[in-house]
Amino acid sequence: MSTGDSTEETSSGGDIRAVIRAAEVLGLFGDDSPEITVADVSKRIGLNRTTAYRYCTSLLSAGLLERGTQPNSFIPGGSLLLLGAFALGMRQVMDLSAPHMRNVAEATDATTVLSLWTPTGPVVSRVEEGRPRGAIVTVRVGTQLSLASAQGITFLAFLTDRVHATRLLAMLPEHEQERVESSAQELRKSGYCFTTSRRGIAAIATPVFNEFGCCATLAVIGTNEMLPESSTLAANELVTGSRALSREMGGASLWPQQTA
């Protein structure tokens, strides 16, 4: 092994240990310790005072900690609170979506899918299979969906960061961009998006809102025969379920007014 490789490995190992230590510091907060001191960090994690202070000030600079009421004390920072709120929101929509997804699946005889947003696009997070009269069309939890999929278009239509949405749209092939933009525009009016693939698979997607914006998407998937574009039954059931879930999430006011 060369000297350069050894140095890189040591640096990488040090970075990993630093991340673990930072997580341990943040893990000290709880109901019985809403505010921690450098002495607490030193004692409970087993660091010397200087190292404990360095970790606390680094986390302070990153916005993960804020100064507490006592000297050398700290409380959770704004960035940490935002991250926690985001995580709780994802958990909440996952918990609340189950009965709505079952209702939609039973009413449409199609598979119902809940997806959450990631930096690279929507990811399937919950699946509820219906009782189709023919073949079952389903998707695995954890599947990364295309930005040109029904759920991808739904997220793009309602992303609060429009600059980011434009950049993501530009990543699609030119022949896809016009279709996605047109579908997103119609979606903002109707409340749902319909797509079909060359393999004969159809999907209808709707947004789910919390108080901050679009936090998830609900969709039904099936064959073109199960979900013909001319039929609005599945779309209406899906819109009803998504709006009900949005009300529970505190985002009913953000639904497209044309569907109110």
Burial class (CB in 10 A: 0-12, 13-18, 19+), 71: exposed
Give yes or no for residue 97 having a pLDDT over 80.
yes
pLDDT in tens, 28-73: 988 788 999 999 999 999 999 999 999 999 999 988 999 998 888 9
The whole-number pLDDT of residue 137 equals 86
Tens digits of residue pLDDT in 101-129: 999 999 998 999 999 888 778 889 899 98
Return the higher-pLDDT residue of 7 and 151.
Answer: 151
For CATH 1.10.10.10, list the domain ranges present in the chain.
3-76
Q: What is the pLDDT of residues 195-252, one digit of tens each?
A: 998 889 999 999 999 988 999 999 999 988 888 887 789 999 999 999 999 999 999 8
pLDDT band at 88, cuts 50/70/90?
A: low
With beta carbons less than 8 A apart as the criterion, state whether 191 and 258 touch: yes
Q: Tell me where in the chain the CATH 3.30.450.40 domain(s) lie.
A: 85-259
What architecture is the 3-76 domain classified under in CATH?
Orthogonal Bundle (1.10)
Check: CB of residue 80 under 8 Å from CB of residue 64: yes
* Whether pLDDT at 18 is above 80: yes
Please state which architecture CATH assigns to domain 85-259. Answer: 2-Layer Sandwich (3.30)
Taking residues 149-173, what's their average pLDDT? 91
Output b/e per residue, 28-50; b: 16+ Cβ within 10 A: ebeeeeeebbbebbbeeeebeee
Distance CA 244, CA 173 (A): 35
Residue 5 clears pLDDT 60, i.e. is over it: no
Please list the alpha-helical segments (H only) found in 109-173. Answer: 150-158, 162-170
For Cα atoms 255, 256, 258, give the angle at the middle one, nearest 5 degrees: 135
